[in-house]
């Protein structure tokens, strides 16, 4: 089965880890392409390609400031991604609680064994 185009929807666009890095970098505010390049250590053509994909699916917005293009995340477009992934938050919370309880139980057992052994 052929894979869907990265520009078909937000989910396919963020399947690429570098695009997620770009979104994370742009989250605090507008940035020019060169800032993204410098911060993430990627080649400028690669960043431009990723930004173009993110722009096509609506996850980033762009505005011109003189000769510069400034990119920013589109929080409204990220909402469906957040809503979908938050379904799993309860699952992970429960899983992490189980791991924590097991670790605490093991620590308790180790401490009890130490108390039983004579020094």
Q: Is the pTM of this model over 0.85?
A: no
Mean pLDDT for 48-62 is: 96
Helix (H, G, I), strand (E, B) or coil at 3: coil
Do residue 47 and residue 95 come from a single domain? no
Full domain range(s) for residue 35? 1-74
Do residue 54 and residue 7 come from a single domain? yes
Do residue 6 and residue 56 come from a single domain? yes
For residue 83, tell me if it sits in a domain: no
What is the overall mean pLDDT for the chain? 89
Do residue 26 and residue 68 come from a single domain? yes
Do residue 38 and residue 70 come from a single domain? yes
**Domains in the chain, number:** 2
Do residue 14 and residue 45 come from a single domain? yes
Question: In Å, how far are 9, 59, 81, 108 from 27, measured between CA atoms?
Answer: 19, 11, 15, 42
Do residue 34 and residue 57 come from a single domain? yes
Can you say how many angstroms the Cα of residue 35 is from the centroid of all Cα atoms in its chain? 19
pLDDT tens, residue by residue, 30-43 = 999 999 999 999 99
Question: In Å, how far are 16, 60, 77 from 5, measured between CA atoms?
Answer: 12, 18, 18
């Amino acid at each position: 089965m052929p894979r869907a185009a990265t520009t078909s929807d937000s989910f396919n666009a963020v399947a690429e880890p570098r695009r997620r890095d770009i979104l994370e970098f742009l989250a605090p505010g507008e940035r020019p392409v060169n800032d993204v390049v410098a911060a993430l250590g990627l080649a400028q053509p690669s960043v431009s390609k990723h930004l173009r994909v993110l722009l096509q699916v609506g996850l980033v917005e762009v505005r011109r400031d003189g000769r510069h293009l400034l990119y920013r995340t589109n929080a409204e477009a990220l909402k469906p991604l957040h809503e979908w992934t938050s379904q799993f938050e309860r699952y992970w919370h429960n899983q992490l609680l189980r791991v924590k309880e097991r670790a605490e139980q093991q620590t308790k057992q180790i401490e009890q064994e130490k108390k039983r052994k004579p020094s």
